[in-house]
A and B are shown apart, each in its own frame.
Chain A
Amino acid sequence: MIGTALTDLWYGFGVALEPHNIVWCFIGVLVGNMVGVLPGMGPLATISILLPLTFGIKPVGAILMLAGVMYGAQYGGAICSILLNLPCHPPHAVTCLDGFPMTKQGRGGAALGATVFASFVGASWGITEMIFLAPVLVRVAMEFGPAEICSLMLLGLLAGSTLARGSPLKGVAMTVLGLMLGIVGTDIETGAERFTFGMTHLDDGIELIALALGLFGIGEFMNSVNQVSTVNAKYANVTLKDMRPSKEEMRRTIAPMFRGTLIGSLCSLIPGTGPTIASFVAYATEKKISKTPEKFGTGMIEGVVCPEASTHSSVQGDFIPTMSLGIPGDAVMALLLGALMIQGIVPGPQLIKEHPDIFWGLVASFWIGNIMLVILNVPLIGVWVKLLTIPYKYLYSSAMFFVCIGVYAANNDMFQVGETAAIGFLGYVLLRLGFHPAPILLGFVLGPRFEENFRRAMLISRGDLTVFIERPISAVFVLLCVALIGLQIYVRLRGPKKPLVPVLETQGAE
């Protein structure tokens, strides 16, 4: 098995090392790193903006680039939180706790250096996990009939919406809303128009790009306009020389790094628990097993390295269910799946077999991309820090243009620009009401496939709902769903006493 995995990987490197693929991968990580550093621009918004640009590229290049944005942003986010105490992206919120004090002590450079190193280790582990686990998962998934796929999707949707940030109830409501939005348009089986309200423009359904850009572009801009304060770059003078951690720091880094990696990879295996939860758990664990827990928060390098390693290992691990089962764990993954679908590739267990170039190319490009990021981050740290001083007022207004042209270019249709504005408004209202819009996207991407498989399962079983319980694999998934809901209710009733929950909630409110 290892042998085949290695041959496949070799093949993947062949794909990823093709000149144009390297270029796309490089552009992806570069842009990702950039937006990771910039406050107020998340990977979600960036991937949505870049999505229309990928139509002209081959699917492999497109997915390499978009994935590059995603993990590139994780590197950039660390810079921001360590040097400026700005948790631009939720997973890095805990990095601030010890990272910024280190910066104040003049050890910011060392913290960054150790972070880059830990990130690389974490990511490498995540990739390795992907190489060996994904084919196994696929073999299992090949046995799935429509009923199994259906209940698996149900589990994915539930996990994605309840374990994410904010209230689980609201999360589920948003997922259902997303499913409904996915229904808009012409029904695939009967051809009946649904929810088009007589508008022929809506016949093809709501465009994924319009939805993503509306929710995460316009909605976010509205949320943060005139809110982003100018950054204080007082401590941000870091040169290459500062980045080498001392021997003592190096020694203290190793063990937390591996612990973080392990936590991250475990978290990525549970659908719905993305990098944010992984980094919080990692920090808490590190604090608990430390001999000097009281020192945490004053600039302990362990508290920087462990969450960062776990973030990266879980980011890479998140690709496993997405690529092998076609079930995205969070909104970013949903967006990537959407990008694949736009390219005409059906995600699911058959993906690895039918498009080995995409899967193995992606895996190999992770490594290449991560190496690129290390190279980009270490000597060029000064450039990234400079980027932080770009005022938001220039940023978001230029981004608006990219939003508009992106939506227009997707189908050459002006109507969709208006659609995006409307969705953006809706997204902002929802955000203010405490509904996080990310699960909408999850529901939207999975919705049509869910319906299709549900219908197929019903056809096979002649409308008998018990098929979901009678088939063993499906029953396990359904049981897990029930357990998940039960657990949520249990936690609710006991009251949110856990220290982790409030921190996550405040993050969600941002």
Chain B
Amino acid sequence: MKDWRYWLAEQRSALLAVGIFIFMFIIYVSNHQAGFSANVVQTSANKGVLLALVAMAQTLVVITAGIDLSAGMIFVLTNCLASWLVVGTAAETAFGVAVVLGTGLLCGAINGAIVIVGRMQPIVATIATGAVYFGLALLLRPFPGGSVNEDLADALTGRLFGVVPTSLVALVAVVLIIWVPFRRSVTGRAAYAAGSSEIAAYMSGMPIKRAKFVAYTLSGLLAAIGGLFLTFFTYTGEAAYASGNAYTLFSIAAVVLGGVSLFGGRGSAIGAIFGAFAFRTIGDLLFVFDFDPLWQPLFQGVVLLFAVSLVAFGLFRVRNRLEWFG
């Protein structure tokens, strides 16, 4: 019985995100003209999954007390790449998918190497690499276009047994294949430890550098999976600067809503996924209430501002003002 309470305490912020999401989603579907239909769920799922994947990517880095401002750009770059490569026969498609995912891994690894080996601040380093990744995306797709293996795309964005959105199933698979092993590995634990107290982690002899590098690399991979799905949804590739920036921004909002601490060491990708879905639903709520969609960016911005301000609550516990300065 007691174990259950500790589990609850640990997952409290993630569960809060689940709660917000369910609450918002109920309001959303009950006001939607179409109601709770498989179609509505499928559309919501597909939009949510994209942000959820980028938010997972962000989570991995944030846990180590870093930040990845290039996540949205990796997402855009892999989208453009996929619009060239994920076409043709099954073998060609598979090869394309592999190259796209490999590119994501490489982008993440470059970020990690610059931050860890180059000892550069993650913010500036990832802004700079983000510019490079966006530039590459623009080289690949100066104009929107391209195509994708539509069979695969439809299979992954449709419904399983006519009810369950396939994209959700894919998301669960990603969680099981990437997140769970990471969370349970020594490396994953070292990533948490490095974010929580790097000195204590060092004193305990944990593999901090390796953990950070793996976190950045997997983050690139997750963003690439997101880019792949974007291609499946849109059938095209587009080097959209605004969209890349928005995904980076929203991924931070989703991570905060999902209970991941921006100071590192706390939170899970599961929380971030629900944070992403909650954030998406909040944005869509305006839509069902017939607000002008023009208000959506402002509304999302205010939610983001509010979410990051929550960070400040810990401040009231500080008894020694010198702790402000780290």
Decide whether A and B are members of one complex: no
Seen from chain B, the residues whose Cβ lies within 8 Å of a Cβ on chain A are: none
